[in-house]
Structure 1
Amino acid sequence: MLWTILGWLVFGLIAGFIARALVPGKDDIGCLPTILLGVVGSVVGGFLYGLFTGGFRGFEPAGWIGSVVGAIIVLVIFNKVTGRKRRSRR
């Protein structure tokens, strides 16, 4: 059980960090929000994969690519909703 939780934390950190690196602009979020971003992104990626393949079995985690894609989607939506990363108009 402990190894499963630790694995999810490391997996979420890596997927969230890759998503943050691929989305343009600076993110002022810490390690815990990055982990949360990766874990939520993995669930979103698994959900989208299930919708596109017809194998939808509920909310389940995705692999590395699906997790990063899901984390990118979550990060972009988060930035739009919170108004973060807006470019200044000078």
Structure 2
Amino acid sequence: MLIVALILFGMLIGAGAQLVLGREGKSIDWAMAVVAGLIGSFIGGLLLSLISGDGLALRPSGIIGSIVGAVIVTAGWRWSRSRLAS
């Protein structure tokens, strides 16, 4: 059950990152949302939680770090995809 909750949380964070950066097209790319959300949450959320001293508990610093991490991963994904298309 925890794995399903983590995947859903990653999807929401990844979708939020796409909304922050602006969507490409009419809908959210859910594959990108899952990957960016999970990677961004792991790297950004864990790093910011540990730096702020909150540990591994669910705190606002971890959620903010998750969103920032997902935005960075989504922006990098879009940049690399545009470089390959050119």
Q: Is the TM value for this pair above 0.5?
A: yes
The CA RMSD measured in Å over matched residues stands at 3.0
The one-letter amino acid of 2:20's match is: L
What is the number of residues matched between the two proteins?
A: 77
> Which residue number in structure 2 is paired with residue 32 of structure 1?
31
Q: How far has the Cα of 1:66 moved from its partner?
A: 1.1
**Seq. identity, %:** 32
Change over 3 Å in CA distance of 1:54–1:20 after alignment to 2: closer
- Aligned ranges 1:1-90 → 2 under 5 Å: 3-26=1-24, 30-46=29-45, 48-49=47-48, 53=51, 63-83=62-82
Extract unaligned runs of 5+ from structure 2.
54-60
* TM-score, normalised by the number of residues in structure 1: 0.66
> Which residue number in structure 1 is paired with residue 56 of structure 2?
none
Q: How far has the Cα of 1:30 moved from its partner?
A: 3.3
| Structure having the larger proportion of residues in helix | 2
User: C-alpha separation between the residues in 2 aligned to 1:83 and 1:70?
Assistant: 20
Extract unaligned runs of 5+ from structure 1.
56-61, 85-90
User: C-alpha separation between the residues in 1 aligned to 2:29 and 2:78?
Assistant: 15
